[in-house]
């Protein structure tokens, strides 16, 4: 493919790196050649870079393999996932699961991403339902200050929730922002 065929969310192999295109813009300066200004995420390191790529050059599109897997349990510094079709188990080091660990609970279904057999990471659903295991008591009449309190989820992660949320309730949390969305209905 050529760089003129870029789309947001596409994964490419460029300069020895595996990159996911977050956003791009074709730029035609008054003088000189057209180029593409891109913002990409390195799929191996997680870092975000801005790059300039000449328009029309050939670039290899990377085809990622996503497998639906069930999270089973933590085993020391590794986390065990099982392919729901083949029952094959994969151990993923905790270093590959930084923010994801705040939302993972046993039996949760996630997509595990591979590229040519290399494990890249875990894609969580946009929102997850988790139980509140601990929460501060609501202070009556305290509505001047945004009316939220700290609550600890079953994973150990602490979030801000409205005052009416109580311990033992199940809430919907965004895995993108890590914030409270609503009560489970």
User: Which residue in this structure is represented by tokens 């591979």?
Assistant: 114
Q: How far apart are CA 184 and CA 53, in angstroms?
A: 46
Q: What is the pTM of this model?
A: 0.75
**pLDDT for res 93:** 87
Q: Please give the chain's pLDDT, 185 residues, in tens.
A: 888 889 988 999 998 899 999 999 988 888 888 899 999 988 888 788 999 998 889 999 999 999 999 999 999 889 999 999 999 999 988 888 878 889 999 999 999 999 998 888 888 999 999 999 999 877 666 556 668 889 999 999 999 999 888 999 999 999 988 899 999 87
Domains and CATH numbers, the chain: 3-61 (2.30.30.30), 65-123 (2.40.50.140), 127-183 (2.40.50.140)
């Amino acid at each position: 493919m050529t760089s003129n065929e870029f789309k947001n969310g596409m994964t490419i192999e460029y300069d020895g790196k595996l990159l996911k295109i977050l956003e791009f813009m074709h730029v035609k300066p008054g003088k000189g050649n057209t180029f593409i200004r891109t913002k990409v995420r390195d799929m191996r390191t997680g870092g975000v870079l801005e790059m300039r790529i000449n328009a029309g050059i050939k670039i290899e599109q990377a085809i990622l393999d996503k497998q639906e897997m069930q999270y089973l349990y933590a085993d020391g510094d590794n986390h065990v996932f099982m392919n729901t079709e083949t029952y094959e188990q994969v151990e993923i080091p905790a270093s590959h699961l930084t923010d994801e660990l705040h939302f993972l609970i046993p039996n949760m279904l996630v997509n595990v991403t591979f590229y040519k057999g290399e494990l890249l990471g875990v894609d969580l659903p946009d929102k997850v339902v988790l139980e509140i295991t601990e929460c501060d008591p609501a202070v009556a009449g305290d509505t001047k200050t945004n009316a939220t309190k700290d609550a600890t989820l079953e994973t150990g992660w602490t979030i801000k929730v409205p005052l009416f949320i109580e311990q033992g309730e199940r809430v919907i949390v965004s895995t993108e922002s890590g914030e409270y969305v609503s009560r489970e209905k």
